[in-house]
């Protein structure tokens, strides 16, 4: 599965700068007007040092990391949800597996803030409210349609409409009370009913505070702590980076970048950190396949079984699954080869229900 993260924020939040940093773009891709619905798109490879180590063992023809797609949509002006998010824009937001909200904390006299004063906590609240208004609008419209048609339906169709209305009424109450859908306890049946709506407050949310260089260190940490206290919750992660600096770092070669980062006290690149946080937020892990043709990382949900991992590679492997030859990455590196791992008893034959662990190196045996 390819991870799709949608970057949102108020105008002048620096979200396109952050997009450029995360995707290592050469320069700003342009500015938006509020009417524009076409996003910037970029796919980046997920950094995984384990692949390079495996490549040293297997000498493959190619190395294939997992990838992440970033989508940078138009700035969300305050009040936009009350007018209704544009169809295309809402569609881009709904298709993301998670939303990355870039929040401005930096001061720049040349880039005026839409609210005239920089206040990161206020801006987080503003976008949270816009998402809430958007979801409430969708719920209201759907409830109106159900109400208009329910009297004309009978049997299972009517029962399904009634069940849907009950779930939506409950969510409307939660949203009006300030609770996002991601924080509401829902049964599996409830989730099936809601699957097609693409509610924005149901999506995992990474709030990324965009700092100025003068805010690196204690000032930035204090702001992140305040944001976590005020806006933390289920499926919400909050962190910070300096978007402008990260964009400059992204354009340097690795050696110069490492020196620059050390000078500024930046321990990890924004790209690496955001991907790691996103995986954790979404409950994703990577398993690996390795051989003379390729060494490759595959992204699956935490808790996925061996047969589900096989399906991530190809549906034929899941359909004809026999077993998964599995060895932990550390054990494979310690033994130096699959043959030696087998000889030492750390290469295991696992069945369909085996729960795959992060870093498992797997070969699927199948028959179709």
Answer whether 14's CB lies under 8 Å from 244's CB.
yes
Greatest alpha-carbon pair distance for the chain in Å reads 70
The total of other beta-carbon atoms located within 10 Å of residue 16's CB is 23
- Are 8 and 205 in contact by the 8 Å Cβ rule? The answer is no
Residue 2's pLDDT is 74
The residue-averaged pLDDT of 314-325 equals 96
C-alpha to C-alpha distance for 79 and 83, rounded to whole angstroms:
7
Residue range(s) occupied by CATH 3.10.20.30 in the chain: 303-366
Q: What is the pLDDT of residues 193-249, one digit of tens each?
A: 998 898 999 999 999 999 998 898 899 999 999 999 999 999 999 999 999 998 888
Angle at 285 (CA atoms; ends 283, 287), nearest 5 degrees: 160
pTM value is 0.88
Instruction: For residue 269, name the pLDDT band (cuts at 50, 70, 90).
Output: confident
The domain 3-281 having CATH identifier 3.40.1530.20: the answer here is no
Give the pLDDT confidence of 34-65 residue by residue, as tens digits.
Answer: 345 578 889 999 999 999 999 999 999 999 99
- Cα–chain-centroid distance for residue 90? 17
Instruction: Please tell me the distance from the alpha carbon of residue 122 to that of residue 133, in angstroms, as a whole number.
Output: 16
Token pair for residue 177? Answer: 């009370």
pLDDT band of residue 26 (cuts 50, 70, 90) is very low
Helix axes 254-264, 243-250, angle to 10 degrees: 150
Tens digit of each residue's pLDDT (9 = 90 or more) over 127-163: 999 999 999 999 999 999 998 888 777 888 888 889 9
For 296-307, give the DSSP string. Answer: EEEEEETT-BHH
Domain 303-366: CATH superfamily is: Beta-grasp domain (3.10.20.30)
Ranges of CATH 3.40.50.300 domains, the chain: 3-281
Query: Cα–Cα–Cα angle for 71, 89, 203, nearest 5°?
Result: 65
**Under a CB-based contact definition with an 8 Å cutoff, are residues 297 and 65 in contact?**
yes
Asked if 316 and 357 touch (Cβ cutoff 8 Å), the reply is: no
Q: Residue 155: left (phi > 0), alpha (psi -120 to 50), or beta?
A: left
Return the top range by mean pLDDT from 103-117, 135-149, 297-311: 297-311
> Please, are residues 143 and 170 in contact by the beta-carbon 8 Å criterion?
no
């Amino acid at each position: 599965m390819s991870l799709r993260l949608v970057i949102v924020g108020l105008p002048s939040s620096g979200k396109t700068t952050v997009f450029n940093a995360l995707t290592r773009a050469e320069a700003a891709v342009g500015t938006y007007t509020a009417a524009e619905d076409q996003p910037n798109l970029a796919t980046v490879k997920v950094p995984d040092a384990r692949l390079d180590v495996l490549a040293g063992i297997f000498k493959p023809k190619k190395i294939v990391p997992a990838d992440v797609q970033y989508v940078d949509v138009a700035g969300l002006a305050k009040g936009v949800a009350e007018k209704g998010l544009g169809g295309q824009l809402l569609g881009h937001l709904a298709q993301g597996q998670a939303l990355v909200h870039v929040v401005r904390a930096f001061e720049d006299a040349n880039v005026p803030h839409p609210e005239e004063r920089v206040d990161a906590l206020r801006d987080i609240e503003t976008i949270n409210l816009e998402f809430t208004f958007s979801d409430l609008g969708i719920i209201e419209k759907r409830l109106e349609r159900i109400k208009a048609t329910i009297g004309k339906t009978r049997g299972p169709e009517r029962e399904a409409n009634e069940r849907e209305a009950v779930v939506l009424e409950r969510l409307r109450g939660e949203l009006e009370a300030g609770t996002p859908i991601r924080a509401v306890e829902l049964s599996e049946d409830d989730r099936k009913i809601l699957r097609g709506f693409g509610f924005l407050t149901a999506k995992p949310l990474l709030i990324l505070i965009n700092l100025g260089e003068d805010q690196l260190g204690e000032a930035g940490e204090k702001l992140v702590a305040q944001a976590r206290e005020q806006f933390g919750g289920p499926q919400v992660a909050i962190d910070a980076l300096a978007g402008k600096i990260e964009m400059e770092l992204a354009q340097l070669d690795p050696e110069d970048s490492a020196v620059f980062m050390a000078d500024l006290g930046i321990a990890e690149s924004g790209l690496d950190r955001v991907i790691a946080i996103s995986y954790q937020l979404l409950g994703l892990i990577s398993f690996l396949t390795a051989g003379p043709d390729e060494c490759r990382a595959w992204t699956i949900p935490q808790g996925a079984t061996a047969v589900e991992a096989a399906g991530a590679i190809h549906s034929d492997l899941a359909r004809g699954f026999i077993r998964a030859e599995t060895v932990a990455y550390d054990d494979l590196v310690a033994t130096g080869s699959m043959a030696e791992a087998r000889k030492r008893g750390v290469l295991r034959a696992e069945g369909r229900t085996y729960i795959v662990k992060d870093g498992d190196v797997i070969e699927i045996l199948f028959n179709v």
